[in-house]
Amino acid sequence: MQTDISVAPASRVELTLRALALGGLITLVFTAANVYLGLKVGLTFASSIPAAVISMAILRGFKTATIWENNIVQTVASAAGTLSSVIFVLPGLVIVGWWTGFPFWESFGICAIGGILGVMYSVPLRRALVTNSDLPYPEGVAAAEVLEVGAGEHAADAAAENALGLRALVVSSIASAAVQLGVALRLLQSSFAGYVRIGPAITGMGFNLSLALVGAGHLIGLTVGMAILGGLFIAWGILIPVITAMHPMPGAIGDIANTVRSTDVRFIGAGVIGAAGIWTLFKLISPIISGVRSSLRASAARGRGDTLDITEQDIPFNIVVLVSTACLVPIAILLYAFLAGGVLQSMIVPLILASLAYIVVAGLFVAAVTGYMAGLIGSSNSPVSGMAILTVVGVSLLLLLIAKADPATTPALIAYALFVTAIVLNVATISNDNLQDLKTGQIVGATPWKQQVALVVGVIFGAVVIPPVLVVLNAAYGFGGKGLAAPQAVLISTLAKGVISLNAPWNLIGIGVGIGAIVIAIDEIGRITGRYRFPPLAVGLGVYLPPETTSPAVIGAIFGALYNRWVSRGPNPDAARRLGVLIACGLIVGESLWGVFYAGVIVAAQRGWMHVADPSNPFAVVGDNFGAIANVLAIVAFVAVPVVLYRWVATRARAL
């Protein structure tokens, strides 16, 4: 379906106050959901498609609503939700003990200013990686398809599918939240794990009862899911058995296996992720240069009074440069406030100047890499974690050149490295999402500069929501250890400590880089032959993350592939596939929002605002003696809920 973009710009209904307001309201839901999911399992999801469905359902009541206005709504909501990836770094300041909570204005400033800089960087990248590129942009294309269906010629059919899509999103959200209620009541077991000893070697496997991860698996697809499975095999089929056999340790086999994973294998996984990021950079140098040149030519043409096609009207390049430069002022203020009065006070000027230069250069680098990967495999799978790893290593080495670490300054340098990394990461994550949104806009004939303004608005909305959500989750669960795992924040904090303390596990990271090189070679051979792909980032995640968090995603990828294959043999296969995506999104949203709500209940119980026997499990109605039954019920729920939802929505799709 081709969208008619011949409507005169003056008569277009596109960038409206109601679109910005609706996008802001949707932001509250998806940003909170992404913060929780990212802290729990180290993955976030793109919210463009569910935001577009909600927008069309609401704006359908307005006669003047258009596909371009709906596109603005999903742009705002997805930008704000993507900004939540700052949780890959920001909790590190609590983990290392520098912060005890999340001061609002500092946290807001990191998110807002870094995000706006990311929007500016994405302007020239749009031409390099969207207009002049054949990258598939799976999520951007899917969101455009949803918008075009909603605005299609068959209005009645589109309205029926849109209504069913919203119902699917709500029903699957309720079902996912209900499963987590069962876990909170202790009627369902929350996780399973088993370990075995084979001679002197130890291995094992486990998974969480997380329908959110099943939904995430559906969204990432079978190729990425199998690559994660490959990473799991490398970690638990090769590395952990070999290490435990070579270095026997006393204790329970489960404790030994998880200790080896935590102290050795996850750094190998970090090396794999880092190698994938560096490889991507080399592939991007030429497109980035081409994109900047194209932006300069367009700006010059506009200056001469030439009329550009509506789909080529970006924010003018001189304004991009001006805003980008202006962003450095509040960033410098944030850095000064962080350093002032501390042990690094005497070096404050060189530290700030070096940090600003690093943010400008590293920000463009990570924006380009993550933007490219978003175009290749989707925003949800883009190597944000890998870029954070490279960024924190780079800034830590830079700080060591300026300030010699000693016992008095080392904690401050570690915290400052995390602070700078958080700003750079926001640049990366917003570029990661923006290009996906701009691809959607290109397909539906949207005006790029209006989308770019909407992206800035989305950044502000997200920056307002993230700090209070982090405060509640930290108070209820804590980060790392037995709380919310915050896997990337723990890893990045550990790397900052290792580099600045001069004891980073470079040998393990080097092994990971070697494995990454092999995986990259396999993936490139598959790309050239067209037979298979083996995304290196996904392999790295499989090595790095614990199996409890990755195995449900692998199962979800298999569920999603089987569902898509099944519905492809029936009527309305395209509609059924779109509705399956909304089921997956609902599974994520329901569990994540439950997690935020339950965190609030735990905080209330711990502060004595409600009286329960166990404040850490305020809803528990059964004890440990119910464990065997809870195990069976959990397995049944894990399989039955997705299957029932898939069958329900497929049956309804056939009747459209």
Residue 206 counted as domain residue: no
Cα angle at 337 between 95 and 471, to 5 degrees? 40
Query: What letters, b where the CB count within 10 A reaches 16 and e where it falls short, cover 12-43?
Result: bbbbbebbbebbbebbbbbbbbbbbbbbbbbb
**290 contacts: CB under 8 Å, gap ≥ 6:** 127, 128, 132
Q: What is the largest CA-CA distance in the chain?
A: 78
pLDDT mean over 542-552: 85
**Per-residue confidence band for 582, with pLDDT thresholds at 50, 70 and 90:** confident
pLDDT mean over 214-223: 86
Measured CA to CA, the distance from residue 527 to residue 504 in angstroms comes to 34
- Judge whether 39 and 490 are in contact, CB under 8 Å: no
Cα angle at 570 between 564 and 574, to 5 degrees? 55
Measured CA to CA, the distance from residue 270 to residue 405 in angstroms comes to 24
Residue 588 counted as domain residue: yes
- Judge whether 605 and 612 are in contact, CB under 8 Å: yes
Cα angle at 515 between 509 and 520, to 5 degrees? 120
Query: What letters, b where the CB count within 10 A reaches 16 and e where it falls short, cover 578-608?
Result: bbbbbbbbbbbbbbbbbbbbbbebbbebeee
Residue 564 counted as domain residue: no
Tokens read off for 556: 């979800």
Question: How far is CA 631 from each of CA 184, 591, 592, rounded to the nearest angstrom?
Answer: 14, 19, 22
Alpha helices in 263-347 (DSSP H): 266-303, 317-339
pLDDT mean over 314-320: 83
**CA proximity to 120, closest of 318, 389, 352, 356:** 318
Residue 605 counted as domain residue: yes
pLDDT mean over 214-221: 85
**Top-confidence residue, 29 or 257:** 257
pLDDT mean over 416-426: 92
Measured CA to CA, the distance from residue 296 to residue 381 in angstroms comes to 31
Lowest mean pLDDT among 119-123, 189-193, 204-208, 276-280: 276-280
**Residue found under tokens 């990686």:** 129
Total of domains in the chain: 1
Type of residue numbered 367: A
DSSP, collapsed to helix, strand or coil, labels residue 14 as: coil
Residue 7 counted as domain residue: no
**Residue 137 φ/ψ region, left for φ over 0, alpha for ψ in the -120 to 50 degree band, beta for the rest:** left
Type of residue numbered 316: P
Tokens read off for 20: 């910005």
pLDDT value of residue 639: 93
Can you name the residues that pair with 484 across neighbouring β-strands? 479
Please report the sign of the dihedral spanned by the C-alpha atoms of residue 211, residue 212, residue 218, residue 222: negative
Domain that holds residue 542: 13-194+255-546+572-654
Residue 224 counted as domain residue: no
Mean pLDDT of the chain: 84
Tokens read off for 327: 């962003």
pTM above 0.75, yes or no: yes
Residue 555 counted as domain residue: no
Tokens read off for 126: 């749009």
Residue 226 counted as domain residue: no
* DSSP at 307: P
Question: Above 70 in pLDDT, residue 493?
Answer: yes
